[in-house]
Structure 1
Amino acid sequence: QDLDDATIAKAIECWRNQECETGSGGELVMGYADGGGNDVNVWRSVSKMEAVLQALTYPEIGKIVATAANFDPDPAVHVNDIRFLINRGVDFIVGYPDMGIALAEVIKEATAAGIPYVSFSAGYVGLPDQEGALIPGQDYLTVVGEDLCALGASFAQILNENVGEGKVAILGGTPNNALSLGWQRCTIDNLADSITLVNPPADRNSTTGDTNWYNPIIPDIFEGLLVANPDIKGYAYEYADGMLSGFEAYEELDIPVQNLTLALRTDEQSLFCDWVERNEPTYNIWYSAGGNFQSRTGVTAAMLHLKGYEVPGQVIVPHVMRKVTESDCDPNRPNPVVSGTSLVPDTILRQMFGG
């Protein structure tokens, strides 16, 4: 986007504050309900900015009201955030439901109140075969994101072809969130017999390798895997920068980053530039896309619905796996942890992160 100074200033104001006037005079109020928040990691922060920038393109939207649960482990915090937006009288809600099925009742409350709820980043409110799961397109407006089973199968294919034989580990985000659970199931189902998963989940409805996508705790999780399995040859994970945090455990345990294959979803520059610096030919990365822009799609889906257009219950974002090359490292990025596929302009990123 080619943005003028006034729009940039307004975007920063709305990103920083719980509530803001867009200046358009529009009657609609957008709600943004994040199970994370600006302070938990860069990905969440950028995703909110993507949604804000999209909202500012609609003169009908006159106000933005946002909540952030900051990965609180208590589902009631997340429920109360959405209920606050309902009571605040928002016209639609875009968000990521980290607590999954635990949010089912409050999301149904929003739907009953005539407030469409849209999740992004494949944030299903429970996967279709889970007890208590909501049905997108029926119980809430829509979910925006990849075909999670296809994504998981792609991860397995990369590990099968490049590890060949040996140990691998799988990592995820907040416990039992639908994004991680959806692709993890299909990665596990498609791993070759010659591949040994060192951290299988407790059951089919549980995630494994839960990191909460929170970098400070990730080294300890990797250390727990590596102490018992220093010869891990591959990882599947949806958070590239989290993998970089995991390498702190490699350093602590004096394990070389060699003979290693990564199958990742996001494309944070931090990991890719670290890969370039290592210049290790037996260490390779495949990735898809950061997906921050999906929050924009969520805003547009809600606006289309409010204008009377039919919106499908699932907005599938195609994925393509790419092998990292030197060109994937942009040393001039205002913040190295920002996804390479983010649509937020550098002028705004510099103000967000002080770059």
Structure 2
Amino acid sequence: MTTATQDTITDAQHERARHELDRIDAIFAQRVVGQEALRTALVSALLCGGHILIESVPGLAKTTAAQTLAAAVSGSFHRIQCTPDLMPNDIVGTQIFNYGTGTFTTQLGPVHANVVLLDEINRSSAKTQSAMLEAMQERQTTIGGTVYPLPSPFMVLATQNPIEEEGTYVLPEAQMDRFLIKEVVGYPTPEQEIEILGRIQSGRQTAPITGTPVSLDEVAALQRLVDTVYVSEPIKRYVVDLIATTRLSGPQPVAGLGQHIRVGASPRGSIALMRVAQARALQDGRGYVTPDDVKDCRYAVLRHRIVRTFDALAQNISTESLVDAVFAAVPTP
């Protein structure tokens, strides 16, 4: 396996980025026990300026993680609890008529924050989901014909509960593709759960957060630094070949894969795979992407971009196993 040797980030930039990322990690660890994969996914999405979809059963610190991330970057935080009767104006904002002055005033909705937690997105109607996803894509809202830009950085953490179907609306694949990452959160280990109980009993879990948070300007600088992480031509070809293989047209097609994949990843998947790999490289203290960076983020980037066939669903073949088959078929540069 070969790796790129070109490093476009200076030692001073490496040191400053490492210091800022360590500060985020230290604050995150004060509120969330374990969940290293979730922390890495959240920071990666933040560095890429993307959004993240989190799937888990209730009670696994999703809200706590979102609040802590906002606190770690000195950002504003709003939580939106999705319900079937939630309307787009409840999220975006609305105009209110003042009878005293005879004029309208604009009331911005909770989407106008640096970190927005969209809790149980699959409980909101398709119309409301579309309004939120439009804000995610355009980074602005339109109220009464006036455009209101969203704050920068802007990041949405949407959650969905996989065990309940009553009163839910399935998030279409085309809308799921708008999320840079989909992370599946599992239960903590027994040791981690004991640590959680200890923190609750001692009051540490609700104690004020210590440490210096990263400023929004520093977050913007980190995002610009991700853009400079070097991606060699062989790595770009590797990413394209992987995505093409999910579409059953790669350099080495996988036998029988067409029976399990109905729709593969789009070019947005190629972009996401490269961008998240760049963020992973920066978090590891490197200014260049390696094949391992691409492999490490394969599930988070591709699990919601591959549509399985009915046969795959009937046989309970996981998307992750299909992703593994794709990566096994494409030669590593």
TM-score normalised to structure 2 length: 0.27
Structure scoring higher RCO (CA < 8 A, sep ≥ 6) equals: 2
Structure showing the higher helix proportion among its residues? 2
TM-score normalised to structure 1 length: 0.25
